[in-house]
Amino acid sequence: MRYAPLGPVGEVSRLTLGGGGLGQVWGETSQDEALAVIKAALDAGITLIDTAPMYGVCEEVIARAFSGSLPEGVRITTKCWLGEPPPGKALERMEASLDASLKAMRLDRVDVMILHNNLCEADSVLPRDQDRRAQVATTWEAYVDEVIPAFEDLKRRGRIGAWGITGVGLPPTVLKALSHEARPAVVQAVANLMDSPGAMRRYEGPAMPRRIIASARANGVGVMGIRAVQAGALTGGIDRALKETHPEAADFRRAAPYRALCAELGVDPALLAHRYALDIAGVDTVVLGVKNRAELAQCLEAEALGPLPADLRERIDGLGLRTP
């Protein structure tokens, strides 16, 4: 396992074990299998686990795995879903979310806490979920005036080690956050060969994931790459029921030329997609959505194979699959 600095957080493994797979967001598994995945991940040298209260039974699995005491060198992230809180209520709501996560995981602190909402301007309109904007998005003004001070307060009191943002949208506001004087320690950014955020995209206009990653790098912000297989669209077959109109189903159809290339090369699409994500300049660690040991083993193989040959990267990029 290779390691890299995650901004000011410090050195972490190039692969991060994501809580979505452990919590059955990406298909069915059992808690016993999730526990086995955690053990296998740590045995393989993974040192970062990315959790969230919205990831099903993930936090319960973490409690069972560690009984309140993390192994030396293992770090945990969690997330909060804030939206647009009433004035003066951000800290209260963020700390309540943190309290619930820590209680569920039987821990007394986390290494990183991440704001999981979209960041937007006060006059932004979300073509998807505009009627839920107050739940799914946080305005720039609330972020600067309340969220950042709340994170810094939690950090000062030792409840979190650092804080970050999910940098999926809205891209111009995310870029502004990455260059703001009070910058996050980490950003979770889309890192896949399609540059697609899939169902996480609520806005018009370009997704700009590589520009976000480059800005993070330029500003000393650690990058956790997410959606390496675009929620299944870059695998051999999506393993959960989706409507034909679902963004992930649409991306799966659009990725047919990629699967054809993988068939020609005799390589599994998911393995190659993870290699590609790990090879994106500026990505410090790639968050895995694995739900069983077989999927984990494939990701470990992808990491062990190292950087992509330049000609293979050119062939993948030449397929023209990047989202505008």
d(CA 266, CA 76): 36
d(CA 92, CA 156): 16
Domain-embedded: residue 9: yes
Sequence-distant (6+) residues with CB within 8 A of 280 are 191, 210, 213, 225
Residue 93's CATH number? 3.20.20.100
Domain that holds residue 171: 3-317
Q: Which residues pair with 12 in a beta bridge?
A: 4
**How many domains does the chain contain in total?**
1
Domain-embedded: residue 141: yes
Domain-embedded: residue 324: no
Domain-embedded: residue 312: yes
Domain-embedded: residue 40: yes
Q: What is the full per-residue pLDDT of the chain (324 aa) written as tens digits?
A: 999 999 999 999 999 999 988 877 766 778 899 999 999 999 999 999 999 999 889 999 999 999 999 999 999 999 999 999 999 999 999 999 999 999 999 999 999 999 999 999 999 989 888 988 888 999 999 999 999 999 999 999 999 999 999 999 999 999 999 999 999 999 999 999 999 999 999 998 999 999 999 999 999 999 999 999 999 999 999 888 889 999 999 999 999 999 999 999 999 999 999 999 999 999 999 999 999 999 999 999 999 999 999 999 999 999 999 987
- The pTM of this model reads 0.96
Domain-embedded: residue 323: no
d(CA 19, CA 79): 11
Domain-embedded: residue 322: no
Domain-embedded: residue 200: yes
